[in-house]
Chain A
Amino acid sequence: MATCTGCALLCDDIEAIVENNRIKETRNACRRGAARMKGCVNRLVPSIDQKPTDIESSIRKTVEIIKNARSPMLFGLDNSTCEAQAKGIRLAKKLNAVIDDTSSFCQGLLIERILQKKLRTCSLDDIRNKADVLVYWGSDAQDSQPRHLSRFSYFPRGESRQRGYEEDRKAIAIDVRESNTAKICKGHFYRIPLKGDREFILALIEALSGKVPAYDTKKMLELAGILKKAEFGAVFVGIGLTYSIKEDFDILTALAEKLPNFNIMPMVGHYNMRGFNEALFKETGFVNRVKLEPKAVHDNKYSIMESLIRKNTDAIIVVGSDPMISLPRPVLTYLASIPVICIDPCISMTSKIAAVTIPCAATCMESGGTAIRMDGKVISLSKIITSEYMPDEEIMDRLMEAI
């Protein structure tokens, strides 16, 4: 059995049929997972200033760049194993560097709340076994974590949910558009206006408190009625909700207080983003945006976005992430103007502007380790094919030695 690293569900029931050291066929993986396991068509090659070189020269050049940097940054690691993440954090510490990852503009704030135990949470296995009311909020699991509904939340039979989803479970979608997930939730789709989550939560809190909500009264009372009856509920918080309420997480806490039978589940995209957040949290008390001086200092100015806007970073190591694809265009000019070291299995937009590129093995096909699922469960990743590529963990080691 192999584990898929296509998203933070880390499906570990994948059968991969290997022929001539290539994955010929996958079973049980969804469309995205199958593509991921079969690998990208364009592998990265080592390069300096976009001219091909050997990996040793790339590593030497990287060391030269970061040693000369006044304020280096390590970014990414969400697509790396826990082992590589631990080494990355140590490397950042040694460099007195700033460290941040995609959770900085994704689910970081939510995961921080969960790790601080400010929000109640549970495991996906609990949800499969016990959950009767499921709320997909600003989350289109069908497209982002495609096997979420079939493996854990809606469709499977669980210990105390033996009769099938039509009788045992209710699925509710709250979103600005009728997503594929909302389509499955049929009669329980609540469409809200863009940025309307806050108002919706406030009205829902009123309805749950027995008051008459000012907003869409009939539907709100109906929803409150369903939620109140839940024996074991789950709210799947997608980035739609996270982006909408921004740093105003107290409002979600307030809602959670009104829903004592509910647990909050962060819907994470990158397969080991939670792993990064947990590792940094254990080390520093913060999930991202930290400068390791080497004492940890947390500040929004250490976020990737603010570091680039304020031009505070003068060299950046990007591991398994493609900020040129995921960041807004206005900050790309500065990103492309500083030396970027790109460590990735595949050619990416970031590798195209990088001063140095270092190819690495694709986790879970060419290298193993562990990763943390969206619910906090540790999942092991096994190597299924051999390759000439170094795992990113080893690259971190090599950089550490050389500094």
Chain B
Amino acid sequence: MFPAPFDYYRAHSVDDAVQALARFGDDARILAGGQSLIPAMRFRLARPSVLVDINAIDELAYVRESDGHLAVGAGTRDFALETAPLIAQRYLLLADTSALVADPVVRQMGTVVGSLCHNDPAGDWPVTALAARAQVSIRTPGGATRTVAIDDFVVDSYTTAVGTGEMAVEVRFPTPGTRTSGSYQKIERKVGDFAAEKLLAGAKPSKDLIRAAMREAEKIADPSPDNRGSVEYKKAMAGVLVGRAIAGALERLGVGGLK
């Protein structure tokens, strides 16, 4: 099905985009990679009257490390993170995530910030951003920038702290310390299946600690049943994924063969 008719505006700067949002009112939406928004418009789950396209804002496509964090601009696509040497060396959690979202072609379009703004409960980036304690910068209609911790940014499924007329411009991930590791695990029937679970590793590693974490994950996981599996199956898999994530993260620190 085709989307309902809408007007299209191509923004050339962040200010231009925010002013356009103000001009076009409540029904205007930002168009980033379109990999969530366009399918939603085709199914008529979304019916914006105006799309403000941010794909031509070249200065938004960046990955920069400074002052203890990695800044990823709203124009940065998953593919750019996946192929950046800096990410592969130092930001293992982000490297894992960027290579597991959707499929490689979708990742050449989809953006990290777009995924956060979409905030699908099964999305990969919101999960990783929560685990990594990220922050999101938002440009307000008045032109000011406010920064929101990820816990406050993700409000509920498909709902974020980005208000009417606002635009998210950047997400910042703290730079991990040298003895910090991470791993992102996911069970897929095929590529592009949405996320099930995650974890970051912490202190004093042992097999018992991993087993305890697995049991804890089974206990606190609160999945919904669907055609991918029952609640029992998903709870058990939450445990398995947590076990794999911790073991994977430790292996990257050179801590293998635990007792």
Say whether A associates with B.
Answer: no
